Structure 1
Amino acid sequence: MMAMTMTVLLAAVLLASAAARPQDAILPEVISSRHMQNEDGSFAYGYEQTDGQVVDVQGEQRQIGDEVGTVMSGSYSFVGLDGVVYTVTWTADENGFRATGDHLPRSV
């Protein structure tokens, strides 16, 4: 079930990325990809594209209060219109979603 959910999520992200590009643009190709699903519910997936986009995600099931939930962390990088590679590192867990990157504003 979790593997199917992750596959659908990855396909939706790739489809959204393709739909957001101008129609006359050459679509990037996937250079490498990986997907791992363990019996304990932990997982990892990632891919790299010819346009420099790189995604890496890992997650696991964790006891959160009285419930069991999925916690995830990862990073993604992309080449901006200015030619600079931007990287965002993120975590989504019982404390919410948190993202950091040199180009993102920081709270004081």
Structure 2
Amino acid sequence: MKTFIILSCVVAAALALPAGDPHHLRALPALNHEEIHDEYGQYALRYITAENTVVSERGRLVPGNNGGLVLVIEGQYQFLGDDGQVYVTSYHGGPDGFHVDGSHLPQQVPLPAI
């Protein structure tokens, strides 16, 4: 499950990168960083960069189908694009899979039933 969380964070960070030179990473520090963890692995985090990128995410335990607990993540990030528009992306990961939503993203194509 920790691998899923780390992978989700990496995906979120990669999607927040601007288009252009893939070798140029913006290295501005976070202006505001808040992070809370509990003894069960639940967490909440939020940070804002100097470029006004805002990232927030939380992980909480919910009852799973097999009687155990499942860590569900919910998050959102927003950034100002080179075109001057603010782009907001929300994501959710849990027992039903990983889902990403944003008005700037292409619509998902439904898969035919097998």
In the TM superposition, what whole-angstrom CA distance separates every residue of 1:79-105 from its partner, at most 9, and x where no partner exists? 222121101011101111111111112
Determine what percentage of the aligned residue pairs are the same residue.
Answer: 23
Distance 1:64 1:50 in 2: 39
In the TM superposition, what whole-angstrom CA distance separates every residue of 1:28-71 from its partner, at most 9, and x where no partner exists? 22110011012343210111001121100001122222243211
Distance 1:60 1:21 in 2: 35
Task: Give the letter for the 2:103 counterpart.
Answer: D
Distance 2:107 2:64 in 1: 27
Q: Which residue of 2 aligns with 1:22?
A: 24
1:48 aligns with 2:48: yes
Q: TM-score, normalised to structure 1's length?
A: 0.70
Runs (4+) of structure 1 moved beyond 3 Å? none
Task: Give the letter for the 1:106 counterpart.
Answer: Q
Change (3 A) 1:21 1:53: farther
Task: Give the letter for the 1:22 counterpart.
Answer: H
1:74 Cα deviation from its structure 2 partner = 0.8
Distance 1:61 1:73 in 2: 12
Q: Secondary structure at the match of 1:90?
A: strand
The structure with more strand, counted as a fraction of residues: 1
Q: TM-score, normalised to structure 2's length?
A: 0.67
